[in-house]
Each structure stands twice: as C-alpha cells, then as structure tokens.
Chains A and B, each alone.
Chain A
C-alpha cells in the first residue's frame, strides 16, 4: 500500500515571499501520478498541480511549481509570491497508474499554510 507523508503540520509565510511545502511518499510502483490539492476555509478541494511520474520535467502552474525527485520519492510544492488567498490546507496525494485501483487517491495529512501581511 502506498503512503504519503507531510511532515509540516503548519507553516507561515509573509505575503510576496516564497514557501516550500514538503511531501514524501512510499510506493513500489514505477508509474503513478502525484498531486497537490488546496482546501481553503470553504473546504472545496482545488487541484493546484499535477505531476506524472514518467515525466522528468517538474510541473509548473503560474506561481506554483514542484520539485519532483523520483529516486528520493519526494514531491515538494513551491509557492512563489505568496498571496493572502493562498491561505489554506494543502494536501499532497498519490494515485497509481494501475487502472485496477480505479484511480484511488491516497492523501497525506496536510499542511496548514497561513499567509500573513
């Protein structure tokens, strides 16, 4: 079974600064997907960024980028130019490429990010 670990329960960053959220995972599979989801106070889950394991290039989405280290099974999220609206709970998630698992997501425990003035 896969496990996802987020070792930072809470983090704080000042507006306009850069912050990095950590995520490690454990799997014996070679093909899989990794995700970062954001859950603001509204509790709506929002996909921030996605990475396919077979791609060496790190995914980027505007101010959000990842550092994917497959050998180390590490998948950190970097938020640049932090904004107050980035305040939320951030979950790292793993999905097997094996369709037999019906695209189940395994979530980490989350990191609560507070962006301050």
Chain B
C-alpha cells in the first residue's frame, strides 16, 4: 500500500514557540491531505483539509491562524502550530488521498506527538 511519512515523530517545545510538522506521501501524489488531532484514548478529530496549490479548509472551531497549513507540492503538506501552549499538546496525524486509482481511500502517517511545556 501507499506510504505516508510524518516528521518529526515527537517534539517537545516551550510555550510560545512555533512547531512545524511535515506530512509526505512517499510513493504517490496527493492533491488532498488531511490533518487530524487525537487526544489520549479518543477518536480522531479532523482539523483541516489541505489542498495542493490552494488554501486549506478548516473544520468548525479550528483556529486557522493558530494551525497554519501549507500544501506546496503534490507530496508535501505542513502543519505549523503557532505560539504553542500546553493545551495544544496532542497527537497529530495526517493522511493523504491517492489521485488514482482508489479515490476513496486515505493513507495515514504514523503521527506526531507534540508536548508543549
């Protein structure tokens, strides 16, 4: 199956700093990538849909100025958590949709654990 990577796998930062998380589709092109947030023992919550070459679409309640998404190429989307605070600590997961042939399948990255001190 298609492979999606995330970097870093875990990051610890100080409150007030910004953190960038990368999501890459390694063996396929993805016009659409998705960013999720998962709290411990909870489900995945969709934060935003990242579209190559255009602005991301954010879900209701997600601050677009705090969670900056850039999808500059068909294989890379980045999520930047700006001015991070302890409440932003979470597990962030990205997924990518293959252009073809299975337009209805998403492939998931391994996730990034963010800890804000």
Contact = CB atoms under 8 A, between A and B. Distances in A.
B100 interface: no
Contacts of A106: 46
Interface residues of B, number: 23
A104 B34 contact: yes
A50 B38 CA distance: 22
B108 A103 contact: no
Interface residues of A, number: 23
B32 A45 contact: no
A97 B32 CA distance: 15
Say whether chain B's binding surface is mostly helix, strand, loop, or mixed.
strand
Interface string B75-117: 0000000000000000101010100000111101011000000
A117 interface: no
A102 B49 contact: yes
Contacts of B91: 43
A107 B49 contact: no
Most buried by B among A45, A106, A108, A110: A45
Interface of B: 1, 32, 34, 38, 41-44, 46, 49, 51, 57, 91, 93, 95, 97, 103-106, 108, 110-111
